[in-house]
Amino acid sequence: MIEPLDRSRRDSTLFQFTTKQLPDFIDPNHLLIRIDEQLDFAKLVAPLEDCYCPDFGRPAIHPEVMVRALLICSLYNISSFRRLCSAISENIAYRWFCFLTIDDPVFDHSSISHFIDRIGRDGFAAIFDGLNDELLWLGMLSPEIYVDSSLVKANVSSHGLSPSGMSVAEFKERAIEVNGLFMIEENTVDHDGVQREEVRYFQDPKGRLPLSPVDTDARWRTSRVGNPSALSYQENVIVDRGGFIVSRGITHASTGEWKAVQDLLDGLPLQPVSLAADTAYNVGELREHLEGRGIVEYIPMHPKQAASMVANGDFVYHGDHLICPQGKILRRGSLHPRHHTYEYVARQKECQACPFKRTCLPEGHKRRRLGLTMYYPLYLKIQERNRSSSYHREQFHRKTIAEGTFASLDRLGWEKSRLRRLWKVDSEGYMAALAHNVLKMARRLGRGVGPPSLVAPADAIAQDVRRNVAEAAAFFTALSSCSGWIIWLTLRLRPALR
């Protein structure tokens, strides 16, 4: 069991002959004070017990102190761990929140990196899940959820990255595929004329998308059409009706958005009743998975699906066959597993005898063929649901809640990662989501707590410090005077006492 922190030491008096404490110099409405009162950090870090050995090696910095420091880093958008340690050293509120007295030295920034390596992604996930369990116990989570994704810029530079310069055939011959990447070895000459062997990684099999050697997990992706592409990660989140992030995860930017949903659903702290998303999640496999879980999904259909010949009523769907406008039957054929479509085929004899074959049959074809997704029966049900008022209401909530959540994460600094490698960026994302949920919890429990506030005004703090210093100086002056009289009397009376 992890030993709790000593609160009496943190809240003790600053000096020996004064009653002032460190919290007396902090605004009582400060966000960190409210968070400290409302959140049990000892319970959050309890799952990290297995990461520490109580009877071997030098005692480590308490995990609760590390979590509190990382929470400050996310809440106040501090760009690096060096600046975080400097801010804790200078800020009274930060010191008090991290259980440091006025004269305690601040830990080195490398201690934070060691802490991240120690607990890993699973440790941060356990902390995040512990907070969500607390929110569920408080009745703050709702079963109506919304899923969306956004790009997080990687902490790498694209300067100096260039395509391979080879033809496609030459690159395919030389490249070696490793874990979905394409690697080639090149001999380069540095400024001193020394020949070195360099390994380069590419995202595509044509050698046109080079990856950064310091973080090969970052992938090229553009945020929207017309914007330049950048090396990024993809942040996938599930948000409830109240705006709390109930599940999240980081994937490669080149991964399809819908592929992360199933894993996110497995990490939910409650059973959802509905899920709303945008057109990027309009995949039959995902829709079937949601129906199997008993989740009502509100996802718009792609315009091409709504404009197909079967959807327009030109061909009538009857399960195992279709009927064309002339009453001819198209039998269902084989399944194409790659595209998840069935091929419906008419008889050649009937098509050749049809008077509309010139306008119906494609050039070079002797009979009509039509591909139809295997999820079409599910799409018929979805079409009817998407005409309801519930669908429009959930889509409106999705736009306001999910987009607002990403705006909040951007304000917390989660538009660009500080760390590198997929698992470390995922760990950083858990702390950003934790800060987002802690802020919302503080606002609800505090009845309108605003964004992170600054500490008490500097003039007021300086005035209190000067007053306490003057009181202490006067006390020590009086004490020194009394000590002088006592010493003089002792020297004068020593002969008489003998």
DSSP string covering 297-347, please? EE-PPPHHHHTSTTTTTSSEE-SSEEE-TTS-EEEEEEEETTTTEEEEEE-
Q: Are residues 22 and 114 in the same domain?
A: yes
pLDDT of 68: 95
Q: Are residues 40 and 98 in the same domain?
A: yes
Inside any domain, residue 394? yes
Q: Are residues 255 and 392 in the same domain?
A: yes
Which amino acid would we find at residue 27? D
Nearest by Cα to 10 from 59, 68, 51, 74: 68
Cβ neighbours for 313, distance < 8 A, ≥ 6 positions apart: none
Instruction: For the chain, state the CA radius of gyration.
Output: 33
Inside any domain, residue 334? yes
Nearest by Cα to 429 from 121, 198, 137, 103: 121
The residue segments making up the domain with residue 82 are 7-140+420-445
pLDDT of 479: 47
Distance CA(440)–CA(239), nearest Å, equals 12
Give the up-direction half-sphere exposure of residue 206: CA atoms within 13 A in the CB hemisphere.
2
Q: Are residues 73 and 97 in the same domain?
A: yes
Phi, psi of 496 (to 5 degrees): -65, -35
Going residue by residue through the chain (498 aa), what tens digit of pLDDT does each one get?
677 787 777 777 766 666 777 778 888 889 999 999 999 999 999 999 888 877 777 788 899 999 999 999 999 999 899 999 999 999 989 999 999 888 889 999 999 999 999 999 999 999 999 999 999 999 999 999 999 999 999 999 988 888 988 899 999 998 998 888 999 988 777 677 777 788 899 999 999 999 999 999 999 998 777 778 899 999 999 999 999 999 999 999 999 899 999 999 999 999 999 999 999 998 888 999 999 999 999 999 877 766 565 656 678 888 888 888 888 888 888 888 877 888 888 888 888 888 888 888 888 788 888 888 888 888 888 888 888 999 999 999 999 999 999 999 999 999 999 999 999 999 999 999 999 999 999 988 875 444 444 334 444 444 554 555 455 555 455 445 555 555 555 555 555 545
Give the up-direction half-sphere exposure of residue 259: CA atoms within 13 A in the CB hemisphere.
8
Tokens of 461: 């703090």
pLDDT of 446: 75
Inside any domain, residue 159? no
Q: Are residues 98 and 113 in the same domain?
A: yes
pLDDT of 321: 85
| Whether 84 contacts 67, CB under 8 Å | no
pLDDT of 317: 82
Q: Are residues 135 and 46 in the same domain?
A: yes
Which amino acid would we find at residue 401? I
Q: Are residues 267 and 284 in the same domain?
A: yes
pLDDT of 452: 43
Which 8-state DSSP code applies to residue 224?
S
| Whether 427 contacts 122, CB under 8 Å | no
Cβ neighbours for 129, distance < 8 A, ≥ 6 positions apart: 267, 269
Q: Are residues 254 and 149 in the same domain?
A: yes
Inside any domain, residue 472? no
Inside any domain, residue 277? yes
Distance CA(451)–CA(438), nearest Å, equals 11
Q: Are residues 136 and 148 in the same domain?
A: no
Inside any domain, residue 90? yes
Distance CA(83)–CA(77), nearest Å, equals 10
Nearest by Cα to 262 from 290, 242, 235: 290
Quote the Cα angle for 166-171-175, to 5°. 140
Q: Are residues 35 and 172 in the same domain?
A: no
Q: Are residues 108 and 48 in the same domain?
A: yes
pLDDT of 459: 44
Q: Considering the entire predicted model, what is its pTM?
A: 0.82
Q: Round to the nearest angstrom and report the end-to-end CA distance of the chain.
A: 62
Which amino acid would we find at residue 8? S
Distance CA(120)–CA(423), nearest Å, equals 8
Q: Are strands 274-276 and 144-153 parallel, antiparallel or unpaired?
A: parallel
Which 8-state DSSP code applies to residue 453?
P
Inside any domain, residue 283? yes
Which 8-state DSSP code applies to residue 139?
T
Question: How many domains is the chain built from?
Answer: 4
Cβ neighbours for 36, distance < 8 A, ≥ 6 positions apart: 97
Q: Are residues 433 and 396 in the same domain?
A: no
Inside any domain, residue 284? yes
What dihedral do alpha carbons 63, 65, 71, 73 form, nearest 10°?
-110
